[in-house]
Amino acid sequence: MLALFIAVRHPFHPLAVLSFFAACCSSANADILINPTFESSITSNPNAATIEAGIDQAISNIESFIANPITVRIEFGSMNTGLGQSSTLTNDLSYSQYRSDLANNQILSSNDSLALAFLPVASTNPVNGNAEVVLTLPNLSAIGQTALGNNGGGFDSTISLNLSDLNLSRTGPQDSTKYDLQAVTTHEIDEVLGIGGAGSILSASGPTVPTDPVGSMDLFRFASSGARSFTTSATATAYFSINSGATKLTNFNQNGSGDFGDWATGPTPQVQDAFGTPGVDVNLGPNELTALDVIGYNLVAVPEPGSGTLLVSGLLAIGILRCRRKV
């Protein structure tokens, strides 16, 4: 059964954000196609052209990194509260099949091989012993589960943006009290693909029923080497690691005001941080790319596994034509 997942409740709050990027370590063709449809709440806006251009740029940036030949359909609209929210369709897949697909249905990067070495071959997931994981439809399509990832040509997700609180363009005068449209859009699209809030079943009310499937990012959540972290406690340690906790890549958010699948904002802020800042731009970085890589996407730019010294570089400006519908 298809499930509706509210991927982001409070995606950004006031804290510092900078712009960091991952270095290219391998190359492939960027084949993913993210098709946006703009609701009338956007197309009727006096700044519609600028808004659509900002969303398109965020889409092109993400497309430039992902080589899976899949199509993702997203409806964009506006809202009057918060900053951004995505409602994304998901489906369940057995953990054993998911691990098999990760091993056999993608081009294995060094990160993939490392992550797979620490994901046990078993009939149940290593987090809570459930036999299944829950994945977004694009994530399912990326690993070859086309039937489970098929929504019959409908939308995979709906993203709503509070345009009144956003700087709509990165050129010209910037309002230091507002947030960056491209950053918020990128954060939400990451959720649609399966990282961030959509990658965990943890919520502010606590873990779901212990027998429920876990999210893909819950498989990479650790408190220390060899010790998993699966709690909403604000005092708990939870960090992203692809080698069973031996190497910490970044902390997960443990503040119930944000998504537990997002990053905790630290000294090097990232686009998938649960808390952001007005007046500053932020883009995809190595930890978002590593997360997308290990949950099933083939990347054009692949960060070195566990590297603490990744080069800073600009996003690949690959212009990809996409079908656009307006309603």
- HEC string of the chain equals CCEEEECCCCCCCECCCCCCCCCCCCCCCCCCEEEEEECHHHHCCCCHHHHHHHHHHHHHHHHCCECCCCEEEEEEEECCCCCEEEEEEEEEEEHHHHHHHHHHCCCCCHHHHHHHHCCCCCCCCCCCCCCEEEEEHHHHHHCCCCCCCCCCCCCCEEEEECHHHEECCCCCCCCCCCEEHHHHHHHHHHHHHCCHHHHCCCECCECCCCCCCEEHHHHHEEEECCEECCCCCCCCCCEECCCCCCCCCEEECCCCCCCCCCECCCCCCCCCECCECCCCCCCCCHHHHHHHHHHCCCECCCCCCCCCCCCCCCCCCCCCCCCCEEC
Quick: pLDDT tens for 138-173: 999 999 999 999 999 999 999 999 999 999 999 989
What share of the chain in percent tops pLDDT 70? 80
pLDDT (0 to 100) of residue 8: 37
pLDDT (0 to 100) of residue 140: 98
Write down the pTM of the prediction.
0.85
pLDDT at 124 over 60: yes
Q: Which of 1-5, 20-24, 125-129 has the highest mean pLDDT?
A: 125-129
Quick: pLDDT tens for 288-320: 999 999 999 999 965 655 443 332 222 222 233
Quick: pLDDT tens for 233-249: 999 999 999 999 999 99
Quick: pLDDT tens for 141-150: 999 999 999 9
Quick: pLDDT tens for 29-64: 569 999 999 999 999 999 999 999 999 999 999 999
Quick one: average pLDDT of 175-183? 94
pLDDT (0 to 100) of residue 61: 96
Quick: pLDDT tens for 65-85: 999 999 999 999 999 988 899
pLDDT at 212 over 90: no
pLDDT at 24 over 50: no
